């Protein structure tokens, strides 16, 4: 599969989003949101992070593997367009660790959501292995 360059990348193209998800730099983050959890999957092209998110209710059993699968599907497939996004990586975040960049993208995405469940409080924290 040919690598897509920044100048060729079209976020509205499902095949190009799938190609991005197979990039060696593509990464994941797992976070606590209020009483639930979230997984974010993202890839960086130039100054932008392209990502998909998966939300896990406190009534569900959190699974890193399932969260990753859903987050990638949400990035790739058109029917999940409300669970993906693009974030400009400003100069403050440019040299940050991927976990910080993904956390920032998740926080911004949650702030833009029109409908949120009551368990989704604004606090986004890192998940530990004990969570």
Q: Decide if 42 contacts 3 (C-beta within 8 A).
A: no
Rounded to two decimals, what is the model's pTM? 0.86
Model confidence at 7, pLDDT cuts 50, 70, 90, reads low
Cβ–Cβ < 8 Å for 40, 99: no
What distance in Å separates the CA atoms of residue 70 and residue 120, rounded to the nearest whole number?
18
- DSSP SS3 for 12: coil
- Token readout for 107 is 């926080």
Residue 100 pLDDT exceeds 80: yes
Band of residue 3 on the pLDDT scale cut at 50, 70, 90: low
Output the pLDDT for position 122. 63
Report domain extents, the chain: 14-126
Confidence of residue 128 (pLDDT cuts 50, 70, 90): low
């Amino acid at each position: 599969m040919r690598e897509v360059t920044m100048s060729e990348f079209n976020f509205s193209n499902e095949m190009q989003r799938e190609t991005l998800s197979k990039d060696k730099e593509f990464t994941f983050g797992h976070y606590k949101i209020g009483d639930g959890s979230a997984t974010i999957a993202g890839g960086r092209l130039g100054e932008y992070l392209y990502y998909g998110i998966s939300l896990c209710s406190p009534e569900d059993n959190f699974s890193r593997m399932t969260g990753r699968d859903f987050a990638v599907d949400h990035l790739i497939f058109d029917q999940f367009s409300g669970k993906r996004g693009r974030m400009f990586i400003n100069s403050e975040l440019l040299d940050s660790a991927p976990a910080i960049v993904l956390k920032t993208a998740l926080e911004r995405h949650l702030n833009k959501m029109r409908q949120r469940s009551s368990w989704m409080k604004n606090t986004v924290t890192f998940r530990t292995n004990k969570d």
